Amino acid sequence: MSVSAAQLESLGAAIARAVCVGPNAPVKGPEAMVASTAAAALQANFRAEAAIDSEVEKQIEKLGRAAAGLDQAKLRAGLRERIAKQKGFAL
């Protein structure tokens, strides 16, 4: 999934507003700092997911002809799930 820097900033700001605003806000502190931290965490998550997808493609290439007769969607999904689990990444 490709997400622009502007979209990440917007998501970060929305998260910050949700957790920093109001008398019972669960997070105290500068909203801008929370927004940038949230955006950075989202970016790291997208990068980790892209790395997993890249690893899936490498695994499929290694399988070569053995993967030719298999359902490619199921193969990718299964490899993706297995690799994510090994890395402790929740999909």
Reported as a single tens digit per residue, the pLDDT across 12-49 is 999 999 999 888 899 988 999 999 999 999 999 999 99
- Residue 1 CB partners (closer than 8 Å, separation 6+): 46, 49
Q: How confident is residue 1, by pLDDT bands cut at 50, 70 and 90?
A: low
The confidence score (pLDDT) of residue 29 equals 86
Task: Give the distance from CA 28 to its chain's centroid.
Answer: 26
pTM of the model: 0.79
H-type alpha helices, the chain: 5-20, 31-63, 72-87
> Which residues make Cβ contacts (< 8 Å) with residue 15, sequence separation at least 6?
34, 35, 38
Tell me what the pLDDT averaged over the chain comes to.
93
- Of 17-26, 37-46, 51-60, 79-88, the range with the lowest mean pLDDT is 17-26
